[in-house]
Structure 1
Amino acid sequence: MTFTPFRQIGTPTRSGIVAVCDHASNHVPDGVELGVTAEVLEKHVGWDIGTAGVVERLVRRHGMAAHLATLSRLVIDLHREEESAGLIPEVSDGILIPGNIGADREARIEAYHRPYHAAMASWLDEADPALILSVHSFTPRMEDRGEPRPWEIALLYNEDDRAAQHAMKFFADQGLVVGNNEPYSGRQLNATMNRHAEAHGRPYCAIEIRNDMITNETGQARFAKLLAQMGQTVVHALAG
């Protein structure tokens, strides 16, 4: 049976809010040998810890629809351009990924990257959303660099910061420590939203949640509720 690199849950409402999650899974498809342990796949290098739980709750409890990845970012990083050097990482946060050395780049792009983004493009065209929530998470500190990351949630953007500015104010008003293009800048890494949002003039929030805050169901439910409330606030602000 052919492996599908995405799943879509919920039913989009035209001019509603939808969510996308590029790093929702740490699954390695049959036929791909990364040469890493299961422990490595459970780390943040294997996926965005906690994001699938947040996004699934956005669908179940808050009426959104979502497009989620079904494979590990170590197989191929769906949040990179096809030509990116980090698309199929040989080292991630100081961890060697031996199975990616000499990997068939074009075969992985054709099997996973292109179908994922083609499906997202069609889905967004049909949904015609008022706002896209792109949900990611980040580790409190990198293993190969010791600097702590104090932000609890952050917004990333490249050229279009319309929604991000409203979202940052919303989260700050909730008492959260909010990052502005942290822990890295959307001006350097914003591939999925550059392609599917900015290129089409669609408002979006590229959200980074510190993963120690969403490792359990309580945290995931809390942040799903916050994201849903933020989304509604942003949509109303943009409409005004």
Structure 2
Amino acid sequence: MAIAGETAVIDGRPYEQIGGITASGIVCVADHASNFVPDDIPLGVAPELMEQHVAIDIGVHGVATRMAHRHGIPAHLAQVSRLVVDLHREEDHPNVVPTSSDGYIIPGNIGANLESRLERFHRPYHNALAQWLEAQNPKLILSLHSFTPAMASCDKPRPWDLSLLYNQDDRAARLAIRLFGELGLNVGDNEPYSGAELNATMNRHAEAHGRPYCFIEVRQDRIATRADQSRWAAMIAEVAGRVALALE
């Protein structure tokens, strides 16, 4: 099942890649761009839950595809929901196949065959991403996510329009925080999550190889419509281009 306009499944793979070798040196990765669940994996959750943040980073697929098609930033995007397997977790992370998320129980994942999920989805996704990045040899990686205005399990509001997350390598993040701030946006610095604790994909594919990256979290209500997605795609592409130039 999928949100209209959010995602499509291509060739049964856990990922899709949009765009060729980039001339800009900037690429985009989106681990939570899909809410697709294969028919042979019954999660046992209400259908409406699959259209919420627990299943997909709302708006991310639209922003990433627009950056690829309109701004020359190729994308590597997930084609499976994080409720099937969380591609933004290490293989040994306790929530790589979540049994609960934001207060919701995921019955179909209790006692699930972890090795099967990893072999079918997680490893092909990351193996393909590693090969793709080797071919792209990017100057800058954009890791694109979205977050909710408030957690379902906690009504404390999140005021940021977007946040930049990082672990040890904050070269690109520091530049991006300043540039987005100059656009009048409320920019979080390692909020509402810390990249020191939640940075699996960039730890593996960026920091481990010395590749600069911006882990961008956009508040999902800012990118909920196609018009908003187009506007944010242009804005992120512009800032990313300036960051890449500053890093040279």
Give the TM-score of the pair, scaled to structure 1: 0.98
Q: For residues 19-168 of structure 1, what are the structure 2 equivalents within 5 Å?
A: 19-168=28-177
CA distance in 1: counterparts of 2:11 and 2:52, whole angstroms: 27
**Tell me, what secondary structure is at the counterpart of 2:196?**
coil
**Which secondary structure state, in structure 2, belongs to the residue aligned with residue 68 of structure 1?**
strand
1:72-120 CA-to-partner distances (Å, cap 9, x unmatched) read: 0000000000000111111101111000000000000000000000000
User: Is the counterpart of residue 206 in structure 1 residue 215 in structure 2?
Assistant: yes
- The question of whether the paired residues in 2 share the 8 Å contact of 1:26 and 1:71 is answered with yes
TM-score (norm 2): 0.94
SS at match of 1:87: coil
In structure 1, distance between residues paired with 2:196 and 2:168 = 7
> Which runs of 5 or more structure 1 residues have no equivalent in the other structure?
none
Going from structure 1 to structure 2, the CA distance change for 1:112 and 1:79 (only over 3 Å counts) comes to same
Closer, same or farther in 2 for the Cα pair 1:80/1:28, shift >3 Å?
A: same
Do 2:59 and 2:225's aligned partners in 1 also have CA atoms closer than 8 Å? yes
Indicate yes or no: 2:27 matched with 1:18: yes
Aligned-residue CA RMSD in angstroms?
1.1
The aligned residue for residue 196 of structure 1 is: 205
Q: State the shift of 1:222 in Å.
A: 1.1
Instruction: Return the alpha-carbon distance in structure 1 between the equivalents of residues 137 and 163 of structure 2.
Output: 25
Q: Displacement of 1:12 after TM fit? A: 2.0
Equivalent AA in structure 2 for residue 7 of structure 1:
E
Q: Secondary structure at the match of 1:207?
A: strand
**How many residue pairs were aligned?**
239
Is contact 2:24-2:241 (8 Å) kept? no
SS at match of 1:59: helix
Which residue of structure 2 lines up, in the alignment, with residue 176 of structure 1?
185
1:30 is displaced (CA, Å) by: 2.5
SS at structure 1 position matched to 2:86: coil
Q: Alignment partner of 1:115: what SS?
A: helix
SS of the equivalent of 1:147 reads coil
Q: 1:159 to 1:213 in 2, by over 3 A?
A: same
Partners of 1:146 and 1:36 in 2: CA distance: 22
